[in-house]
Amino acid sequence: MSHTTANTTTPTAMSLRHRFSLKRFFAGEGPEPGPIFLAQRRVYILPSRMGVYFAAMMLIMLLGAVNYNNSLAYALTFLLASIFFIAILHTYRNLLHLRVDVGQIPAVFCGEIAQVPIMLDNRRSAARYAIKLQLRNQQHTNVDITGDQWQRNKVPLRTTHRGRHTVPRLTLETGFPLGLFRAWAYAQRDVCYFVYPIPDQHHPLPDESSYHLDLQGDRGHGTDDFAGLRNYHAGDSLRHIHWKTVARGQDMFTKQFGGDQAIELWLDWDSLPNLDTEARLSRLTRWVLDASATQVNYGLRLPNTHIPPGTGSAHQQQCLQALALHDITPDADISSS
Amino acid sequence: MNMSGFQQRVKQAKAENLWLLAGLALAFTPHFFRLPLLVMLPSIILLCWRLLFEWRYLALPPRTVRWLLTLVGILATWIAFGTLVGQQAGVGLLVIMLCLKLMEMNAQRDVGVVIGLGFFVVITVFLFDQSIFMGFYMLLVVTLLVTALIAFSRDQSVIPQWANLQKAGAILMQALPLALLLFFLFPRIPGPLWSLPADGAGAGTGLSDSMSPGNISQLSDNDSVAFRVQFDTPLPLPQKRYWRGPVLTQFDGRTWTNPYPQRLTTRLSINAQNQARGTPSLYTVTLEPHQQRWLFALDLPAIIPPDSRLSDDYEIIANQPVRQLVRYSMRSFTDYRLAKDDIPNISLYLQLPEKSGIQARQLAQQLRQKVTDNAAYVQTVLNYIAEQPFYYTRQPPLLFDDPVDAFLFDSRRGFCEHYASAFVFLMRAAGVPARVVTGYQGGEMNPQSDYFIVRQSDAHAWTEVWLRGEGWRRIDPTAVIPAERIENPQDLARILPEMTGAGTTPNWLKKVGRQLSFSWDRINHTWNQWVVNYNTQRQQNFLSRMFASAGFDNIDWQQMISLLVAGMTLVMVVVAVYLLRPWHRRNQDPAQMAYERFCQRLSQRGMQRQPAEGPLDFAQRASQQYPQRARDINNITVLYERQRYTPYPTQRNLQQLQRAVRNFIV
């Protein structure tokens, strides 16, 4: 993970032209690298439909007050109008200065619903109510956040295409407290997630003939296959630090990599000539899952990718990712599902 | 149903709907006493139905039944009012249709509609009552409706409902300064914009335009305020405090009536006949609505207020019935001569019914023959009333066959109306032009303030006779009754203006009560002046005065708008700063601040962190630049990452980070 909080929040970083561009208004800022701070310029507000009705109602009330020369009718109309104006500030405030971040999204198989962790950080002592979280074109979730609280919410995300996708734009929306105004803000993080191909129905693994005995493996240090953890030594590359344990608050470990040798099962693209691309990927996905379950050493051969045999969850993940990305140009990554 | 089961049901109910129903019930209450039961009873039943639905006791009616109920509601309104248009019928229809909407309030949108209509009901209450009490009562209703709106905008009703009420209170308090600015500065447009449907709304409490002395057995003792007066000149003498109202000239033997509006066709030039003497009284009258067209003024008015006319009998008649508080400046001459030499339509003031008062006519002939001129005759009749056993009472006997004769020769007990009626009859029977004048007599100063109060209990009837060479002379026959023949000593002051302060001395309790009632009246008067009667003219005066004190000439509506916009902007900025606290924008966590200090140290050495560079990349680059510091750099970065991006950052870790940054030297 890399974060650049400080730079995304400085208001001076935005030019005036950018600030008033309509694209921001309709589409948001685009993917951003760090946690997103909902500064003044990022929160938009307009009257809701009910707000428009209320404004019309107040106009009629004003006409009535004029017509009947009724002072208290004037007073009521003006009080409601004032409440209307004050509601702008309250609704705006309900979103303002909220910090939004998107966590790592666990990979899912295509068609499953991914749970996107949305982290909301409310550093104000007052609570924020009825905030609607909605990923673009997805179902929404409503949340309340009490004051001075950091909160993790799961927002559903339907998956329709395999591949590696950037998490879609998140819209935070609120009408609280009066529902007369709708304030909203866009937040899109540059977090990616994998959608694996749909696993095929159960098919037996390729027969014994596909097994190969490979004696060429090595056991030395390397960078290919994860081999284990050892204690962190000063000077170790930060890239190899095992952050998961760091995150748990344990001591620091450095990841070690190496190779292995074993009996190998090759899951081969070319062994399935009668199927079309997606069906082949589905079948191979099924086989990767089954092979992992049997703890056999397996490798994956795709037209452009070659994954040497291995075991373990990291290996499985690598294979599934390769399957997900098969034949997908890097440009297509950006398109959200 | 045991208590806990009931509480369960209350909990299940939608909070916003309960707030809404409470608000509506309170908003309907003033109408309940004003609108026909035929409209209000079904409305209350529907409201209760909805409440029972919210508590899961009852289902809502199906669509066909709803249609049927709608028809019944319209029919009930039509039967109750005889029409569906007009102010009262319109309000009735609004109330009943709102309650019917409750029967199908399911969707989110419906709740918004009903809350909006609730605000309309509040405004309709103000059409009938603009008192200070109603103003604050309706503020409560608005608070409840706003609370409903808040509960409605939150999807879950998990947190305690009082928090919603509190929020509504906070919003109202913040809205209040804006509302005040709008109230005083928003340019008032003189209405009406279109003609209002004529509507006999509300029963008047004031004087009526007819008088039937024999028909009343009990004079009501209504202490409500008829009008208030602020004098710019010294108060007139007590015996001059006659507030002129309807003048009654036609008598049918039982009832005196006012010939208006048939006679409004001729209009007098006000100063042609009126030969005023002395200095005028200048004053401003604030008249309570009484649903009639009379405007009251001290005898004798010298000017006519706007939107009104003067009749031949010097009544001031407004163009529209007084349905709301009106305020008008007046000028009157309490010393005057009116129509000294001639009056038009003299027969009007000599009219008598054919077959009534046979004895009275004989008496008039007898008395007239004793004296030489009409002036002496007037005095003779007054003497007759003073000498014969006539009594003043507030509970006179009813008079049946011939009220005039029955009063003069039989009962001889009555109040001002009886005496005025009998006196004018005796005048006319002897050929002296005379008329009955009704209005108010007396009034009292509010000792705690600078205005004069005239109450409904000050209503009075007196007479005017026309004497050639002198003009119309005011005669108050009730005033000649000697004190010992006044039944109730408290009426003394009422009848004999010179004797104000006589009668029984009130004890201390009465004194305190009077003080309190004067205080309350003063509050009401202020409310009337600044709220109810704050109209185009008053706004102009008030703002011009304010503006003049600031050194400007005059104020027009453009300046009002500018002032309003400036004031509202100021208030909005203050509230915005209070609510949004932009200086708390950074409010960063300490780890971030420590890390930024670390980056700053490096940047001083020319090691600038790039905008898109993450801490790990930056640490790597910095380590290559300063290999001897790599350990510290990595340590700080690890501590920072751990503090920032773990779900449970610890205080110890933070302290380590801060210490590491403090000790970091490039």
Give the mean pLDDT of A82-89: 96
Domain match, B292 and B438 both: yes
Cβ–Cβ below 8 Å for B611 and A4:
yes
Total Cβ atoms within 10 A of residue B165: 17
Cβ–Cβ below 8 Å for B156 and A70:
no
Give the mean pLDDT of A271-295: 88
Query: At residue B121, does pLDDT exceed 80?
Result: yes
Domain match, B291 and B340 both: yes
Task: Please check whether residue B649 is in contact with residue B643, taking contact to mean a CB–CB distance below 8 angstroms.
Answer: yes
Residues of A in contact with B119 (CB under 8 A): 57, 61, 76, 80
* Minimum-distance CB partner of B580 among A5, A96, A176: A96
Give the mean pLDDT of A226-230: 64
Q: Which residues, in sequence order, are CB contacts of B74 under 8 Å at separation 6+?
A: B84, B93, B96
CB contacts < 8 A, A to B, total: 216
Nearest to A326 by CA among A293, A279, A294, A291: A279
Total Cβ atoms within 10 A of residue B639: 23
* Minimum-distance CB partner of A235 among B194, B630, B638: B630
Query: At residue A108, does pLDDT exceed 80?
Result: yes
CA atoms A319, A324, A329, A334: torsion sign: negative
Query: At residue A219, does pLDDT exceed 50?
Result: no
Which tens digit of pLDDT belongs to each residue from B129-185?
889 999 999 999 999 999 999 988 876 645 567 888 999 999 999 999 999 999 999
Query: At residue A332, does pLDDT exceed 70?
Result: no
Give the mean pLDDT of B601-626: 84
Query: Residue B489 has what pLDDT?
Result: 65
Query: At residue B14, does pLDDT exceed 70?
Result: yes
Cβ–Cβ below 8 Å for A70 and B120:
no
Burial of residue B2, with CB atoms counted within 10 A of its CB: 0-12 exposed, 13-18 middle, 19 or more buried: exposed
Residue numbers of the domain that contains B63: 3-153
Domain match, B225 and B315 both: yes
On whether any CB of chain B is under 8 Å from the CB of A253, the answer is no
Residue B460 annotated to the active site:
yes
Give the mean pLDDT of A270-296: 87
Domains of chain A, earliest start first: 5-46+95-196 (2.60.40.10), 208-333 (no CATH)
On whether any CB of chain A is under 8 Å from the CB of B94, the answer is no
Query: Residue B322 has what pLDDT?
Result: 85
Domain match, B419 and B401 both: yes
Domain match, B361 and B486 both: yes
Has residue B149 been placed in a domain? yes
Rounded to a whole number of angstroms, the distance from the CA of A273 to the nearest CA of chain B is: 45
On whether any CB of chain B is under 8 Å from the CB of A175, the answer is yes
Domain match, B461 and B527 both: no
Q: Hey, which residues does B211 pair with through a beta bridge?
A: B256
DSSP tag of B274: E
Which tens digit of pLDDT belongs to each residue from B430-475?
999 999 999 998 888 888 888 898 988 888 899 999 988 888 899 9
Domain match, B634 and B538 both: no
Between these two residues, B627 and B585, which has the higher pLDDT value? B627
Nearest to A38 by CA among A103, A120, A117: A120
Alpha carbons B529 and A121: distance in angstroms, whole number: 52
Domain match, B601 and B523 both: no
Has residue B309 been placed in a domain? yes
Residues 10-49 of B with CB under 8 A from A: none
Burial of residue B159, with CB atoms counted within 10 A of its CB: 0-12 exposed, 13-18 middle, 19 or more buried: middle
Which of B126, B153, B180 terminates a domain? The answer is B153
Torsion of CA A58, A63, A68, A71, to 10 degrees: 50
Domain match, B525 and B487 both: no
Task: Please check whether residue A40 is in contact with residue A70, taking contact to mean a CB–CB distance below 8 angstroms.
Answer: no
Query: Residue B126 has what pLDDT?
Result: 92
Alpha carbons B395 and B407: distance in angstroms, whole number: 13
Task: Please check whether residue A82 is in contact with residue B178, taking contact to mean a CB–CB distance below 8 angstroms.
Answer: yes
Has residue B306 been placed in a domain? yes
Nearest to B408 by CA among B335, B473, B476, B358: B358
Of the spans A194-208, B503-517, B617-631, which averages the highest pLDDT? B617-631
Task: Please check whether residue B441 is in contact with residue B249, taking contact to mean a CB–CB distance below 8 angstroms.
Answer: no
Q: Which residues, in sequence order, are CB contacts of B593 under 8 Å at separation 6+?
A: none
Rounded to a whole number of angstroms, the distance from the CA of A123 to the nearest CA of chain B is: 7
Query: Residue B497 has what pLDDT?
Result: 47
**Residue whose token pair is 């991006």:** B645
Has residue B362 been placed in a domain? yes
Distances (CA, A) of B111 to A174, A183, B146, B168: 18, 21, 12, 17
Residue B299 annotated to the active site:
no
Residues 592-611 of B with CB under 8 A from A: 592, 596, 599, 611
pTM for the whole structure: 0.73
Q: What percent of chain A has pLDDT over 90?
A: 36
Q: What is the mean pLDDT of chain B?
A: 83
Give the mean pLDDT of B283-297: 88
Query: Residue A208 has what pLDDT?
Result: 52
Cβ–Cβ below 8 Å for A86 and B171:
yes
Domain match, B394 and B525 both: no
Give the mean pLDDT of B529-536: 87
Query: Residue B64 has what pLDDT?
Result: 92
A177-196 exposure pattern, b = at least 16 Cβ within 10 A, e = fewer: bbbbbbbbbbbbbebebbbb
Which tens digit of pLDDT belongs to each residue from B625-634?
888 888 889 9
* Minimum-distance CB partner of A50 among B112, B580, B599: B112
Least confident stretch, A103-107, A136-140, B266-270, B416-420: B266-270
Total Cβ atoms within 10 A of residue A3: 19
Residue A176: alpha-carbon gap to chain centroid: 26
Of the spans A285-294, B175-184, B379-388, B518-527, which averages the highest pLDDT? B175-184
Alpha carbons B509 and A302: distance in angstroms, whole number: 106
Query: Residue B47 has what pLDDT?
Result: 93
Query: Residue B10 has what pLDDT?
Result: 62
Closest-CA residue of A relative to B192 is: A67
Q: In terms of DSSP H, where are the helices of B254-329?
A: 270-273
Number of H helices, E strands in chain B: 21, 20
Which of B136, B153, B170 terminates a domain? The answer is B153
Cβ–Cβ below 8 Å for A57 and B120:
yes
Alpha carbons B606 and A331: distance in angstroms, whole number: 36
Domain match, B613 and B652 both: yes
Alpha carbons B618 and B637: distance in angstroms, whole number: 9
On whether any CB of chain A is under 8 Å from the CB of B580, the answer is yes
Has residue B627 been placed in a domain? yes
Closest-CA residue of A relative to B536 is: A69
Residues of A in contact with B572 (CB under 8 A): 85, 89
Has residue B126 been placed in a domain? yes
Domain match, B471 and B540 both: no
Which tens digit of pLDDT belongs to each residue from B25-70?
999 999 988 888 888 899 999 999 999 998 888 888 888 999 999 9
Alpha carbons B118 and B272: distance in angstroms, whole number: 55
Number of domains in chain B: 4
Nearest to B483 by CA among B381, B392, B377, B606: B392
Has residue B240 been placed in a domain? yes
Query: At residue A273, does pLDDT exceed 60?
Result: yes
Radius of gyration of the CA atoms of chain B, in A: 38
Q: Is the peptide bond before B192 cis (omega within 30 degrees of 0)?
A: yes
Alpha carbons B539 and A74: distance in angstroms, whole number: 13
Cβ–Cβ below 8 Å for A238 and B634:
yes
B5-23 exposure pattern, b = at least 16 Cβ within 10 A, e = fewer: eeeeeeeebebbbbbbbbb
Residues 272-331 of B with CB under 8 A from A: 324
Has residue B455 been placed in a domain? yes
- Assign B591 a pLDDT band (cuts: 50, 70, 90): confident
Q: Hey, which residues does A306 pair with through a beta bridge?
A: A301
Give the mean pLDDT of A62-88: 94
Which tens digit of pLDDT belongs to each residue from B301-329?
888 888 888 887 888 888 888 877 888 99
